[in-house]
Amino acid sequence: MTQEELFKTLTAHAKEYGFIFQSSEIYDGLGAVYDYGQMGVELKNNIKKYWWEAMVHLNENIVGIDSAIFMHPKVWEASGHLSAFNDPLIDNRDSKKRYRADVLIEDYMAKLEERMNKEVEKGRRRFGEAFDEEQFRTTNPNVLRNKAKWDEVNTRMVEALNSDNLAELKQIIMDCEIACPISGTRNWTDVRQFNLMFSTQLGTISEEASTIYLRPETAQGIFVNFLNVQKSARMKVPFGIAQIGKAFRNEIVARQFIFRMREFEQMEMQFFVRPGSELEWFEKWKEARLAWYKALGLGDEKYRYHDHDKLAHYANAATDIEFEFPFGFKELEGIHSRTDFDLAQHQQFSGRKMQYFDPETGESYVPYVVETSIGLDRTFLAILSAAYCEEKLENGEERVVLRIPPAIAPVKLAVLPLVRKDSLPEKAREIMNELKYDFNCQYDEKDSIGRRYRRQDAIGTPFCITIDHDTLEDNCVTIRYRDTMEQERVPIVSLRSIMEKKVSLRSLLEKL
């Protein structure tokens, strides 16, 4: 299966099993807006819980908040979103499709990268064991030509973005002969800037109503509460404030399922530090955040850092953690050293002092900020795509299994009476009634046991508990493991403690 087919299959699977639905589907849907179904909401809640516990509960110097989506319009002036939260857009006149100019160029660069990788794979097959990848990459003429082109385009694009040179962005598209993926033509308009914030009116009388915005990030709710939290919780720098919540962006290039949505959820943490210590904290958070992903066990090789060439004018370091989605390595999380930009801007626009008095040194200063900003929906998609697996079994049958880490799986265990008679359902209900206080359980008595296992595999339930006739005699049940399909007989009395070890968040948190 190609990666593209895999992605299509994954999308269909997510719908069929109640993970994700297109928003307002009966009205043909709303572009780039999605709903989480009965399984999706469980998985999403579990990811949030894992993040919250790792960030807020495990760190004494981090606390959480939940700020409102609506904020005073001045916030967005101060943050720079009103004037500069723009995407460079370009339209194809034939297909009438609109694209982000930088994304078109990045897709072109990804193709160059793909060509280089193909060449390397050819070399590997040709030279076998003696193959030296580094030497090949630095000497093979095809690789070198593509690499030179990649470097040239990258440098031009970064410079154009840094200097807001829209004409140059268009020139790169023309020079690289980039065509519209739909019409196949190069009939492009000029590149224009487009603000991504959604606006609405506050107040009932239209003349008096003022324009307010749906927040495009959760971070500003943290900055404006910096003093409230610092004072009420008596926090000492360095300390952090975390929050999980919805953000809204009028994304033009809305595609790739829940990777780029117009309404999405972020999990952000702003860490306030003494000026001068920010780069040290930046490195620490870079490592800590990668460890958080790796503890999920989806495969360490699926992550990489991407350090920014294009730094925002206020940032002095920035990196993305990227994940290998079926459509390539893409950003999951941004880690940014933002200096004192945000607090200083709010100080200026609000006229309130956003300073911290350091009792040890006796100085007052505006703290510097290191931020970790993660897309909850993208993390969801990363987990789903890494977990999805089609397997051929020894008996020739096939199964689809979601290998979701047990600690965050939507349903932890399924309770299955072998047959729907002989008091087995009653016994199964009894067990379920005991376990449901600790774990999200599902009871299922319909169809053959094999089909029930498959249904649980398809939603990623890590354990199935089967109640058979012997259970009535020996008070033991069979645990069937999702990943290995092995079975183990255990006493009912020890079920809870066995499950607890396997599915508790603690099993993940202890790895951090």
Q: Considering only residues 251, 283, 434, 438, which one is a binding residue for ligand ATP as defined by CB under 6 A? A: 251
Q: How many positions of this chain bind ligand ATP (CB under 6 A)?
A: 16
Give whichever of 46 and 266 is closer to ligand ATP, judged by the CB atom: 266
Q: Are 38 and 170 in contact (CB under 8 A)?
A: no
Query: String of b and e for 343-379 (b: at least 16 CB within 10 Å)?
Result: bbbbbeeeeeebbbeeeeeeeebbbbbbbbbbbbbbb
Q: Considering only residues 11, 92, 230, 266, which one is a binding residue for ligand ATP as defined by CB under 6 A? A: 266
Cβ 199 to ligand ATP, closest distance in Å? 17
260 touches ligand ATP by CB under 6 A? yes
Alpha helices in 176-304 (DSSP H): 219-223, 226-232, 278-294
42 touches ligand ATP by CB under 6 A? no
Distance, in Å, from the CA atom of 367 to the CA atom of 241, rounded to the nearest integer, reads 13
Q: Considering only residues 13, 44, 81, 249, which one is a binding residue for ligand ATP as defined by CB under 6 A? A: 249
C-alpha angle 435/57/318, rounded to 5°?
Answer: 125
Q: Which part of the chain contacts ligand ATP (CB under 6 A), choosing from 369-377, 404-412, 444-452, 475-483?
A: 369-377
Q: Which part of the chain contacts ligand ATP (CB under 6 A), choosing from 327-335, 346-354, 425-433, 473-481?
A: 327-335
- Helix or strand (DSSP H, E) at 377: helix 376-387
317 touches ligand ATP by CB under 6 A? no
Structure tokens at 93: 């006149």
Q: Which part of the chain contacts ligand ATP (CB under 6 A), choosing from 18-26, 261-269, 280-288, 341-349?
A: 261-269
DSSP state of 210: E
377 touches ligand ATP by CB under 6 A? yes
Amino acid at 442: Q
Total Cβ atoms within 10 A of residue 187:
12
Distance, in Å, from the CA atom of 68 to the CA atom of 214, rounded to the nearest integer, reads 10
Q: Which part of the chain contacts ligand ATP (CB under 6 A), choosing from 69-77, 329-337, 408-416, 419-427?
A: 329-337
Give whichever of 170 and 262 is closer to ligand ATP, judged by the CB atom: 262
Give whichever of 79 and 92 is closer to ligand ATP, judged by the CB atom: 79
Going 72 to 77 to 78 to 80, the CA torsion angle's sign is positive
Structure tokens at 253: 């290039």
Q: Are 184 and 136 in contact (CB under 8 A)?
A: no
Cβ 219 to ligand ATP, closest distance in Å? 9
Cβ 53 to ligand ATP, closest distance in Å? 20
Q: Considering only residues 215, 346, 378, 480, which one is a binding residue for ligand ATP as defined by CB under 6 A? A: 378
Q: Considering only residues 334, 367, 460, 462, which one is a binding residue for ligand ATP as defined by CB under 6 A? A: 334
Q: Considering only residues 53, 107, 283, 331, which one is a binding residue for ligand ATP as defined by CB under 6 A? A: 331
Total Cβ atoms within 10 A of residue 267:
22
Structure tokens at 145: 């030509």
- Helix or strand (DSSP H, E) at 381: helix 376-387
Cβ 32 to ligand ATP, closest distance in Å? 8
Q: Which part of the chain contacts ligand ATP (CB under 6 A), choosing from 38-46, 279-287, 372-380, 429-437?
A: 372-380
Give whichever of 257 and 368 is closer to ligand ATP, judged by the CB atom: 257
Q: Which part of the chain contacts ligand ATP (CB under 6 A), choosing from 114-122, 164-172, 223-231, 375-383?
A: 375-383
ω before 238 within 30° of 0 (cis)? yes
Cβ 38 to ligand ATP, closest distance in Å? 22
Cβ 218 to ligand ATP, closest distance in Å? 9
Displacement of CA 201 from its chain's centroid (Å)? 31
Q: Considering only residues 153, 173, 224, 332, which one is a binding residue for ligand ATP as defined by CB under 6 A? A: 332
Going 225 to 228 to 233 to 235, the CA torsion angle's sign is positive
Give whichever of 88 and 334 is closer to ligand ATP, judged by the CB atom: 334
13 touches ligand ATP by CB under 6 A? no
Pick the closest to residue 422 from 464, 473, 487 (CA basis): 473
Distance, in Å, from the CA atom of 208 to the CA atom of 199, rounded to the nearest integer, reads 16
412 touches ligand ATP by CB under 6 A? no
Distance, in Å, from the CA atom of 365 to the CA atom of 356, rounded to the nearest integer, reads 5
Amino acid at 259: F
261 touches ligand ATP by CB under 6 A? yes
Displacement of CA 96 from its chain's centroid (Å)? 30
DSSP state of 360: T
214 touches ligand ATP by CB under 6 A? no
Q: Are 254 and 262 in contact (CB under 8 A)?
A: yes
Cβ 151 to ligand ATP, closest distance in Å? 21
Instruction: Give the x-and-dash track for 275-314 against ligand ATP (CB under 6 A).
Output: ----------------------------------------
Determine the longest span between alpha carbons in the chain, in angstroms.
Answer: 80
Give whichever of 50 and 264 is closer to ligand ATP, judged by the CB atom: 264
Q: Considering only residues 42, 324, 333, 457, which one is a binding residue for ligand ATP as defined by CB under 6 A? A: 333
Give burial (CB, 10 Å; 0-12/13-18/19+) of 18: middle
Cβ 335 to ligand ATP, closest distance in Å? 9
Q: Are 364 and 355 in contact (CB under 8 A)?
A: yes
Give whichever of 123 and 240 is closer to ligand ATP, judged by the CB atom: 240
375 touches ligand ATP by CB under 6 A? yes
Binding site for ligand ATP (CB under 6 A): 217, 249, 251, 260-261, 264, 266, 331-334, 373-375, 377-378
